[in-house]
Structure 1
């Protein structure tokens, strides 16, 4: 899908593990691309590589038609977009601009941010991603897209499409972020359960690689058993590219969402607790290192 003439200038905020390869694919869409990261050296290097315009302050993105954010949390998204009172904007957008939050944000925060932006004539779309870094590099991410403004969604889709293989329309603003949190909770539950099983099997005397092979040929098979257990735990790489604080954050968002809709979710509570214990002990490490903590308890 080509990016229309109505959306020729695109800003991108957040050039990290996921944002870097995502914006690299976006650059292939033939847009006037402006990039920003808190790491100014990273901004300058990637801008030079892509032929993009480096921006030293987010206010420099004010004239972009569409601004994409790929940041660690919704609180950081709000800090970038809104003033301290959360009533005004840090980026003086032109009316009609579209903000696309592709971060793994809290849907409640997203709705609040969208309301403030709308007060200033700016539309917001949430479009979080699934697929990890390798699919970000390949430009084959799955996208969960929510929006209240259909015209804004139509302008966002061609931009998002440059980074994705499939776009799912999830409903109103915030629904994409709600779906992302619930998806990552399901993945985290699988990770927690399969890692606990691996530890128990090893203590009983089972070969861990044989266990993984059997999982993958049996009903225990999942993304975790096929892409995580073998290379990152059995082989000891511990380098999936997804940090433990981010996984824990996403599961906590899912728990808050379940509480908000008054749904009793004991499995979510258990997974939140297990990841929280590992995070307290290990800090900012790859999420697969939770295996080391759990195996030593």
Structure 2
């Protein structure tokens, strides 16, 4: 699947979608892109191989690959299968083309979408990403892939334009399951670190020193290594990933764990904490502002 011979439809050009699409353009792919925010078209003004179109239906015309980078499964399912009297795009996708869902979607929805799309002759792959905007820009995202092995092998060069670590974890839906669980573990770590540092501060300890100890000990995690000094203790709270999205992610994980009939007490508490913090801090709050929320709570 050579870039020069491959047309891509890219639906969802938000903070992550724009740099991901730009890396595909750099690799020589031609893109037809769509987003509800028409202003994003200006970000591609200098890219001759990019065409901003007026609808998803127009984007997928003659597309070899359709990439979705959208907020959640509800939006994706509506786009594919229709809602409120509007028809979906699924039946208009070219036969034998690929649909790659790179969003943070529901594992069960993805598994069902794979079955339904296969009946239409469309090959489905779930390929959610991890790493945030910074890694989306430099093309070093971690990409988790679910789907048939042959599909994974064929798409690996394309995914390699956007990511550095590309791992197949199982059949369709498996990648979204792993991504949801990863996001839950990450969120749980953020909340735990926020509570621990707040208690340390109340005791009169230097939180910078405390975090140094965490990083040299068993408490080390992604938050202690990458977020505490850069975004939390300096009150910057500007990592580029919203608390609203974190809240959504842990809700997806909780539902998945419950669907598997597994113990989920900590996941339930993480969801409750994330929801409350999101409501209290308001629209646009960064997920690292969880530390600010924890500091504001008095017992």
Q: TM-score, normalised by structure 1?
A: 0.93
Please list every run of 5 or more consecutive structure 2 residues that lacks an aligned counterpart in the other structure.
Answer: none
| C-alpha displacement of 1:85 | 7.8
State how far apart, in whole Å, the 1-side matches of 2:36 and 2:261 are: 38
- Secondary structure of the 1:50 match is coil
Distance 1:222 1:49, change over 3 A: farther
Pairing 1:69-148 to 2, within 5 Å after superposition: 69-84=68-83, 89-90=88-89, 92-147=92-147
CA–CA separation in structure 2 for the residues paired with 1:174 and 1:188: 21
Following TM superposition, by how much is the alpha carbon of 1:7 offset from its aligned partner in structure 2, in angstroms?
5.7
Q: Name which of structure 1's ranges 219-228 and 192-201 shifts more when overlaid on structure 2.
A: 219-228
* Count of equivalent residues: 293
Contact 2:104 2:128 in 1 (8 A): yes
2:155 counterpart residue number = 156
- 1:156 CA displacement: 2.6
Residues 136-215 of structure 1 mapped to structure 2, 5 A cutoff: 136-147=136-147, 149-215=148-214
Aligned to 1:12: 10
In the superposition, the TM-score normalised over structure 2's length comes to 0.92
**Cα distance change of structure 1 residues 46 and 139 upon mapping to structure 2, 3 Å threshold:** same
Q: Specify the SS of the correspondent of 1:49.
A: coil
CA contact (8 A) 1:233 1:291 kept: yes
**Equivalents in 1 of 2:78, 2:289: separation in Å?**
30
- Identify the range of structure 1 (191-200 vs 221-230) with the bigger mean alpha-carbon deviation: 221-230
2:236 matched residue in structure 1: 237
Q: 1:86 to 1:122 in 2, by over 3 A?
A: farther
CA distance in 2, matches of 1:56, 1:20: 17
Tell me the C-alpha RMSD between the 2 structures: 2.0
Show structure 1 runs of 4+ deviating over 4 A: 85-88
**2:3 touches 2:28 (CA, 8 Å); kept in 1?**
no
1:141 & 1:50 partners in 2: Cα distance? Answer: 22
Deviations 1:34-73 (A, max 9, x none): 111111121x213323321111111112211001111111
1:136 Cα deviation after fit = 1.0
Q: Aligned runs of 1:231-270 on 2, under 5 Å?
A: 231-270=230-269
Counterpart contact for 1:98–1:156, Cα < 8 Å: no
1:2-35: CA deviation from partner (whole Å, max 9, x where unpaired): x526961011111111111111111122112211
Structure 2: how far apart are the matches of 1:244 and 1:164?
Answer: 24
